[in-house]
Structures are given as C-alpha cells and as structure tokens.
Amino acid sequence: LSELTPNEAVLLVDARGRRHLVRLRPGGSFHSHSGIVEHDRLIGRPDGVVVRSTGGARYVALRPTLAEFVLEMPRGAQIIYPKDLGAILMLADVYPGARVFEAGVGSGALSLAMLRAGAEVVGYELRPEFAAVATANVAAMGLEQRYRVEGRDAYLGIEERSLDRVVLDLPEPWRMVSHAEQALRAGGVLVAYLPTINQTAELRQALSVSSFGLAETVEVLERHWHVEGRSVRPDHRMVAHTGFLTSARLLEKER
C-alpha cells in the first residue's frame, strides 16, 4: 500500500534530518516550534509526501523502516540497535514460522525484528511496565498476531517445548543454558547478546560443558561515511561498542 493510513506510525523528517514519530489519527495534529501539521493532510497521501507546517517548515512524511521505527519508538529498557538486530537474525537463523523464545523482552526491538522475519515469538519479561511498552511497540507495527509476552522470570525455566530458537538479552544467560537444552528441539539455535566480554566468557564456559556445540562469538562494527561533494571520508565519530553476540547449536547428547 503506498498511501498513508489512519493509525499507522509515520516518521516526519524536517529539513535538518530530525525525526519525529507520530501515530496518524483522523483530526489529530503534530505540533512543533515551527507550527502545526494536521494528520488529515497526510492520511491518504503517498508514502514520502512533502508537507509544510503552518509556520512554513518542510517535512517529509514516511512510513518508517523497521530500523527507523526501532530507533524512534518509545523505550523502557535499552534496545538492541539495528546493526546487531540484522546480525542476530542471521546467527539465530530466524525464518517464517520459526518458534522462538525470547528473554528479556525489554522495549521489543529484538521482538520486532524476529516477528518481521516471520517468527512466532513467546517472550518472558520480569518487569510488567517494559512488557507493556514492548507489546504496544509491536502492535504499532501491526505484528501482534504472532506475539505473546508473559510476566515471568526466565531464570526459573522455559515452559515451552520443541522450540526452534532461544534468543536472549538478559544479564546472566548462562543461567538459561540448561533451560534451553530442555526447551529447544535438536539442532535448535541459541543466541545471546551481552554487553561485556566477561559475561560472554561466562556464557561460553557454561555452553562448553553443555549439549550445545558449534559455539561462536562475534561483534559487529559499523562505520558510517560522510559523503558531501569532494569530501568523502569516514565519519569522525562512531559507535565503538554495543555488545557481543554468541551463538550455539543444540546437538544430540553422546551416548
């Protein structure tokens, strides 16, 4: 669908590239220091339409990509950034119909990426206020049909069985290794995102004495470039560190 519709999330990008995420509502309006944009001037118009506010400021209205939505959406907990989300989809080999367990759910950025890739996601999240943020973010992208979040402590166990994937973003994933052994089908994949290498080493140790094999750890470095006329060079600043990604496969126990 190329026209913007009521209730969808739309990104308004101003002349300086600043982004504002708005949910389109009939009769609604977006207010900024440079005046007002009525939502009714966007509803029914093509994705990418250019409008002016009552104060004359120029805005491009775009349906956000998943990466844009994740960066602008409301947050409870810190999110996983798009560069890592893309890598996690490959490492966890998330496919349409895959049954994925996720913990903790946080703001739902990782949930959104996996749902978009076609997975069925069951998430455990300790904090109800974060679970509510994640659920609302997933609904704003229209992906709630294949999503369920439970307010539970994942360290106490995973109730689901025959899962295809277990994807973790919580502080002590080594406490999840035996739970994942129970809950995953043979050949299933576990992926964990961790901010520090000490935590990663502790996870790798736990995996090394488990039924998981083929363990790997990677980090993703992304360098943006400044491209303007004859000045073409890497940006001066870059995000030097986000997290380490560890993956492993559940193998059959040797008899």
Q: Which stretch binds ligand SAM (CB under 6 A): 12-20, 31-39, 126-134, 230-238?
A: 126-134
Count the residues of the shown chain that bind ligand SAM, applying the rule CB under 6 A. 21
Q: Quote the CA–CA distance of 128 and 224 in Å, as a whole number.
A: 36
Give, in degrees to the nearest 5, the angle at Cα 68 between 63 and 73. Answer: 95
Check binding of 140 to ligand SAM (CB under 6 A). no
| SS3 state at 224 | coil
Residue nearest to ligand SAM (CB): 104
Here the tokens at position 197 are 């290498």
List all residues 6 or more positions away from 201 whose beta carbon is below 8 Å from its beta carbon. Answer: none
Can you tell me which of 82, 104, 173, 243 binds ligand SAM, judged by CB under 6 A?
Answer: 104
Q: How buried is residue 236: exposed, middle or buried, by Cβ count under 10 Å (0-12/13-18/19+)? A: exposed
Can you tell me which of 13, 67, 126, 215 binds ligand SAM, judged by CB under 6 A?
Answer: 126
Can you tell me which of 10, 110, 121, 138 binds ligand SAM, judged by CB under 6 A?
Answer: 110
- Minimum CB separation of residue 173 from ligand SAM in Å reads 10
H/E stretch holding 18: none
| Per-residue CA distances from 248 to 99, 189, 203, 240 (Å) | 17, 6, 11, 25
Partner residues linked to 93 by β-bridges: none
- Minimum CB separation of residue 40 from ligand SAM in Å reads 33
Q: Quote the CA–CA distance of 89 and 113 in Å, as a whole number.
A: 8
List all residues 6 or more positions away from 159 whose beta carbon is below 8 Å from its beta carbon. Answer: none
Task: Give the x-and-dash track for 59-88 against ligand SAM (CB under 6 A).
Answer: ------------------xxxx--------
- Minimum CB separation of residue 56 from ligand SAM in Å reads 37
Check binding of 157 to ligand SAM (CB under 6 A). no
Q: Which is nearer to ligand SAM, 13 or 81 (CB)?
A: 81
Check binding of 153 to ligand SAM (CB under 6 A). yes
Q: Which of 29, 25, 19, 23 is nearest to 9 (CA)?
A: 23
Can you tell me which of 154, 158, 166, 190 binds ligand SAM, judged by CB under 6 A?
Answer: 154
Check binding of 164 to ligand SAM (CB under 6 A). no
Q: Quote the CA–CA distance of 230 and 101 in Å, as a whole number.
A: 48
Can you tell me which of 37, 88, 103, 140 binds ligand SAM, judged by CB under 6 A?
Answer: 103
Q: How buried is residue 13: exposed, middle or buried, by Cβ count under 10 Å (0-12/13-18/19+)? A: middle
Q: Quote the CA–CA distance of 142 and 132 in Å, as a whole number.
A: 15
- Minimum CB separation of residue 100 from ligand SAM in Å reads 13
Q: Which is nearer to ligand SAM, 59 or 243 (CB)?
A: 243
Q: Which stretch binds ligand SAM (CB under 6 A): 13-21, 87-95, 102-110, 206-214?
A: 102-110
Q: Which residues in this chain contact ligand SAM in the complex, by CB under 6 A? A: 77-80, 103-104, 106-110, 124-127, 130, 153-155, 169-170
